Copies of this chain bind each other. A is one copy, B any other.
Amino acid sequence: MLQDPNIDSSLTKNQSLVLESLNDARGPLSAYSILDKLRNKGFKAPLQVYRALDKLTEFGFVHRLESLNSFIACKHASCDDSAATAFVICDSCEVVQEMSDISISNFMAVLANKASVKPIKSNIELHGICNDCEKK
């Protein structure tokens, strides 16, 4: 799977390695499981992972799933700050769907307005059982 060179080239070595780990993963990963995956690439301390994750999150390449203390690569071409994203998580198979349409951003804008707050960052996570798991 080829990566966009323009994206990867803007990243440092550690950032690229962490992002690759997340891209290769089927689901969200904890910082420490990323660390374990990257020990054979020279990673030795959690801070190496956390620092890369900070930047990747800042760039919009990675999202943090607060309710799982874990991280997931953004599935969208570029997730700019203005767009709110919602995550739907199956508690059975742990598949995560990343939803990011205008209605979500609108909803959060309305919420911010109701609360008289200037929005910085939103976090929307819905836990449930996906269709496939429900059938079993």
A→B interface (CB under 8 Å):
66-67, 86, 88, 90-91, 97, 99, 103-104, 107-108, 110-112, 114-131, 134
In the complex, are the beta carbons of B126 and A122 less than 8 A apart? Answer: yes
**Distance between A125 CB and nearest chain B CB, rounded to angstroms:** 4
In the complex, are the beta carbons of A120 and B111 less than 8 A apart? Answer: no
In the complex, are the beta carbons of B111 and A130 less than 8 A apart? Answer: no
In the complex, are the beta carbons of A114 and B99 less than 8 A apart? Answer: yes
Q: Which 10 A-B pairs have the closest CB atoms?
A: A117-B128, A88-B115, A66-B66, A116-B131, A119-B128, A123-B125, A66-B67, A121-B127, A118-B129, A120-B127
Q: How far is the CA of A103 from the CA of B106 in the complex (A)?
A: 12
